[in-house]
């Protein structure tokens, strides 16, 4: 299949980013007005953004207990990533593995030249070669579409708003004269976080469909990814609940989310697996008739 620009994805991203930008302008304005200093707001935002932009990949790998692996340790995994990266016209990303029974994979990194593709030991035991390549191609499609960077930028101020909501009492200190402005800032931050949460989840679900299509374009085998999704989904029920809870906060990165616990119930970062498989089967039929 020929790699084509997904204008639906670009349109959805542009609209979501525009709405988030407008929302965050209001947020920054309120923070600056009630704390009496635009400099304070800029320093706070700038510090968080720099840390998240430059170190998000390392922080993600650290939170998962993942480690970078070389070709001697995992030759077949490296061979697959090298070949698929060439087919996707991408620089080869860093390859990482995390020792976990949860069968999953994710991509992270601020751009195509600093990307990391990570798989769990559980997914390597669960899938055959073609299925694993379908999953790796899905993650490479995220890298090619710059989804990690876009979602990091989109989620940054939402995260900051949540921090203000949670720790806003610290800004007021002991001065009672500051209490009203603090509470206004907290309420505005709560509203910003809720709206951002919904917008970002919608964008996240759509990008998964696009990454699935990208994987089919890279491998030419939509059925391989469809089979992988079915296997991963089925194996999730066999993983101990403790393991799933430990990794639930990584839902936005995983190829299939963990739908247990509070985060899994409150909102989904991914479309239903059944719908993703249905679309991949449509792509398979499209290939057969081409």
β-strand partners of 94: 116
Q: Which of these is catalytic: 2, 72, 76, 139?
A: 139
How are strands ordered across the β-sheet holding 67-68? 67-68, 94-98, 116-120, 105-108
* Residue 131, token pair as written in the block: 């299925």
Closest of 138, 130, 241, 190 to residue 182, by C-alpha: 190
SS (H, E, C) the chain: CCCCCCHHHHHHHHHHHHHHHHHHHHHHHHHHHHHCCHHHHHHHHHHHHHHHHHHHHHHHHHHHCCEECCCCCCHHHHHHHHHHHHHCCCCCCEEEEECCCCCCEEEECCCHHHCEEEEEHHHHHHCCHHHHHHHHHHHHHHHHCCHHHHHHHHHHHHHHHHHHHHHCHHHHCCCHHHHHHHHHHHHHHHHHHHHHHHHHHHHHHHHHHHHHHHHHHHHCCHHHHHHHHHHHHHHHCCCCHHHHHHHHHHCCCCCCCCCCHHHHHHCCCCCCHHHHHHHHHHHHHHHHHC
Q: Is 76 a catalytic residue?
A: no
Closest of 71, 136, 68 to residue 98, by C-alpha: 68
> What is the distance between the alpha carbons of residues 245 and 154, in angstroms, rounded to a whole number?
25
Annotated catalytic residues are 139
């Amino acid at each position: 299949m020929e790699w084509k620009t997904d204008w639906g994805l670009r349109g959805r991203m542009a609209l979501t980013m525009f709405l988030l930008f407008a929302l965050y302008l209001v947020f920054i304005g309120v923070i600056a007005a009630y704390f009496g200093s635009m400099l304070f707001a800029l320093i706070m935002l700038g510090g968080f953004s720099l840390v998240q932009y430059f170190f998000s990949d390392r922080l993600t790998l650290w939170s998962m207990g993942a480690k970078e692996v070389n070709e001697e340790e995992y030759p077949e995994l490296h061979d697959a990533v090298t070949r698929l990266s060439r087919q996707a016209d991408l620089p080869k990303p860093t390859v990482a593995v995390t020792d976990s029974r949860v069968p999953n994979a994710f991509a992270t990194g601020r751009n195509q030249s600093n990307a990391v593709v990570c798989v769990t030991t559980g997914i390597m035991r669960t899938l055959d070669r073609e299925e694993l390549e379908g999953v790796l191609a899905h993650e490479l499609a995220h890298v090619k579409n710059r989804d990690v960077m876009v979602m990091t930028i989109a989620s940054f101020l939402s995260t900051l708003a949540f921090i203000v909501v949670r720790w806003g009492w610290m800004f007021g200190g002991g001065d009672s004269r500051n209490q009203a402005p603090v509470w206004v800032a907290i309420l505005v931050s709560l509203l910003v976080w809720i709206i951002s949460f919904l917008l970002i989840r919608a964008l996240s679900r759509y990008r998964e469909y696009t990454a699935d299509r990208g994987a089919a374009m890279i491998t030419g085998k939509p059925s391989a990814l469809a089979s992988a999704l079915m296997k991963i989904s089925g194996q999730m029920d066999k993983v101990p609940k403790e393991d799933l809870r430990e990794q639930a906060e990584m839902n936005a990165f995983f190829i299939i989310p963990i739908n247990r616990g509070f985060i899994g119930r409150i909102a989904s970062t991914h479309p239903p697996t059944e719908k993703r498989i249905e679309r991949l089967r449509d792509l398979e039929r499209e290939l057969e008739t081409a």
